[in-house]
Amino acid sequence: MPTVRRFSRCCLLALAVLALPAPAALAQVPGVTGDTILIGSFGPLTGPNYLFGKLVMNGVEVVYNEVNKQGGVNGRKLVLVREDDRCDPATAIAAVKKLIFQDQVFMINGGGCSNAAIAARPEIEQAKVPWVVFAAVADEVTLPTSPYIFSTALAASLESYAQLDFALSHGAKKVAIVSQRDAWGRSRYGPLQEAFKKKGIAPVADEEMPADANDGTAQVLRVRQAGADAVIMLLYPKAAAIFVRDAQKVGFKPILIGQTALSDPLAFREQVGVPGALDRFFTVNQMRYTPDDPQVEKWRTLVQQYFPGDRLSVYNLFGIGSAQVVVEVLKRAGRDLTREKVRDELARLTGFETTVHPGPVTCTETDHQCHKTPAWIQLVGDKIQLVAVTPVQR
Amino acid sequence: MLAYLIVSGLTTGSLYALMAIGLVVVYKATRVVNFAHGELFMVGGFLAYTLHVLVRIPYGPALVAAVAATLLLGLVTERLAYRPLIRAPAISLVLAAVGFSYVLRGTAREIWGGRGDYIPFPPLVGAEPIAVGDVVIVPQQLVVLAGALVCMALFGAFFSWTRAGKILQATAENPRAARLVGIRVERVYAFTWGVGAAAAGAAAALMAPLTLIYPDVGAVLLVKAFAAAVLGGLESLPGAVLGGFAIGLVENLAGGYLHTSLQDVSAFVVIMLVLVAHPSGLLGAARVRRI
């Protein structure tokens, strides 16, 4: 009799276990448990480009931590897994492989450097893991459109179009280009040429300057000789600082138009080091606010709280905005989470306002470059002022 | 435009020349190209920045202190990366120097890298250019050019007129003979690395006000300095100076009159042509083998 009773109990227990459908379903979704969602991130955590990885991820983590404090997304806490790609394509491939196959993350919120992100793209695409790019801006990261890849960073091509629009809207008649022709520079230079063609005009001077140039004399003299009244700079801060400094030396003062690599005018002014050199300098900010804006006080405090010693930077803001998009689509995808649901929610995210983007974040089935509203800023005295927020189209 | 391009080219060229002097000094004595030379330059720049900008020591003493400190660092390089491998194949020495350069770069990133990507150095004189007729002269460039020329003259005087300089030259010419006459060759090698590093430190302290300092700045300048040294003959100090000026001028004139896309490549095209016509470089002694 006791044996029969024990057998009956075992059968009942087995039936009860079989009657629970949730764990069986969840086990099929990588990175999702009953109370957590594993989200992977990759970008440079070390080396000279750590700003595009470590700081952006710090911003992401601040948002996830705050969401977790409120109970998480649909009852699940968000757990961020970081991988260092050092901006190196080969390392980035290894990093995403580890995230997808070893850590088994549910989705990815990362990609700091364009070259590394481009290299990582096929792995992510093949594994059908939703990926929200947070900082890499080269068009090749998001084009051709892949069902699982979306970006909250302003694409390089859109910035180039915006630069020319800005020059012309400020009355420039003779626009020159000074560009570095590495992968980063070419990802902007090509679209800028297209933008010129579409407007039916040509640059009056088209000069090259290496990213590590120590002298911009030749470039400055050629652009001045061409009579340019606006110069579009597709340059990293160092080369741009040398160009602006050398232009100032010979008294050449056109409208200087920067892009997101120069989105910290205070730091840029310090690098240029010549008073008044930035009086006619305008640049793109991917975010509506600069780190010292009172509007981002909450984030400033939280970044310092979670990462003592860090000062809020624009790179933190990239991560904050991107993480808010991730949280929103996870919410919309509901408790019964699948990668396909997240993909579909991303593809119909329309007019979503983060607390940091200059305009609404909008993705469609065919357009996964979801950030299309650059903010234009200028340094006035010691204050960075918002000059314009202008949606841009190719 | 021509005058301005020439002044600018000579200024940049003088700094390439100073760096090339350091490379040549070490190569002449040890037959090793010091691939950590660019990083010694970088450390020199950061030291000048620390002393002048952060500690607020006047520029002159800061330059001297930075040069002295890089001299010491050169001695350390020799002790750590060269002396233990003195009898090893040349490739081991090259790899040791490359490894040491990474150590220096990483250390600099830890110490100074957190302050931002690129660190500016304040101008030494007023930024306003002076117009002399049609020619615009930038005082900053003239000061740097003059400083570089003074440094070169001091190095020249050291090698020609001082006992230590002559010992260095003698050891470089024939280490075995130098040993036979009682010169402590190992000590001379160490000093050679120190002097080479000091040249890089001087170049960095002078170049800092014209550019920005960052942990990777040395890599690019090493290529230019090496090119200058090769152009000059690799074993000739006057050749290194000539090579440096030539590269600075060619870069600027090609950039100004042909196109800026040719700026970087032009110097190397000239080097190639010179080496095809004169394989030992502009002032290098032709190697003659008697049969």
Cβ–Cβ below 8 Å for A242 and B259: no
Domains by residue range for chain A, with CATH? 36-154+293-363 (3.40.50.2300), 157-285+376-389 (3.40.50.2300)
Mutation for testing the A interface, residue in B6, B212, B216, B264 having most A CBs under 10 Å: B212
Q: What is the mean pLDDT of chain B?
A: 85
Token digits for A7?
């057998």
- Chain A residues in contact with B120 by the CB 8 A cut-off are 241, 270-273
Torsion of CA B5, B8, B11, B15, to 10 degrees: -100
In this prediction, residue A1 carries a pLDDT of 47
Q: Does A24 touch chain B (CB under 8 A)?
A: no
What are residue B207's phi and psi, to 5 degrees?
-80, -25
ipTM of predicted assembly, 2 dp: 0.80
pLDDT at A173 over 50: yes
Tell me the Ramachandran region of residue A31: left when phi exceeds 0, alpha when psi lies from -120 to 50, beta otherwise.
Answer: left
Distances (CA, A) of A142 to A136, A159, A183, A277, B95: 10, 15, 16, 36, 40
Distances (CA, A) of B87 to B82, B83, B98, B171, B175: 9, 8, 18, 17, 14
Which of B127, B212, B216 lies nearest to residue A48, judging by beta carbons? B216
* pTM of the predicted structure, to 2 decimals: 0.79
pLDDT at A24 over 50: no
Q: Which has the closest alpha carbon to B77: B17, B32, B112, B109?
A: B32
With CA atoms as reference, the chain B residue closest to A211 would be B220
**What is the distance in angstroms between the Cα of B202 and the nearest Cα belonging to chain A?**
17
User: Any idea what DSSP says for residue B112?
Assistant: T
Distances (CA, A) of A207 to A107, A184, A196, A236, A261: 42, 16, 15, 15, 18
Torsion of CA A148, A161, A53, A363, to 10 degrees: -30
Q: What is the mean pLDDT of residues A309-317?
A: 89
How many whole angstroms separate alpha carbon A137 and alpha carbon A162? 14
Asked whether A149 and A121 are in contact (CB, 8 A), the reply is yes
Q: Please return the burial class of A393, using the count of CB atoms within 10 Å of its CB with bins 0-12, 13-18 and 19+.
A: exposed
Distances (CA, A) of A106 to A100, A132, A328, B223: 8, 12, 15, 46
Tell me the Ramachandran region of residue B193: left when phi exceeds 0, alpha when psi lies from -120 to 50, beta otherwise.
Answer: alpha
3-state secondary structure of B118: coil
Token digits for A139?
């068009």
Cβ–Cβ below 8 Å for A208 and B8: no
Token digits for A219?
């470039």
Instruction: Give A27-81 pLDDT, tens digit per residue.
Output: 579 999 999 999 999 999 987 678 889 999 999 999 999 999 999 999 999 999 9
Instruction: Give A321-343 pLDDT, tens digit per residue.
Output: 999 999 999 999 999 999 999 99
State the DSSP string of B209-238: GGSEE-TTHHHHHHHHHHHHHHHHTSS-HH
How many whole angstroms separate alpha carbon B30 and alpha carbon B271? 24
In this prediction, residue A341 carries a pLDDT of 97
Q: Which residue has the higher pLDDT, A266 or A252?
A: A252
CA geometry: angle B86, B88, B91, nearest 5 deg: 110
| Residue B286 confidence class, pLDDT cut points 50, 70, 90 | low
Which of A214, A218, A237 lies nearest to residue B117, judging by beta carbons? A237
Chain length of chain B: 291
Asked whether A66 and A305 are in contact (CB, 8 A), the reply is no
Distances (CA, A) of B142 to A222, B12, B125: 22, 11, 10
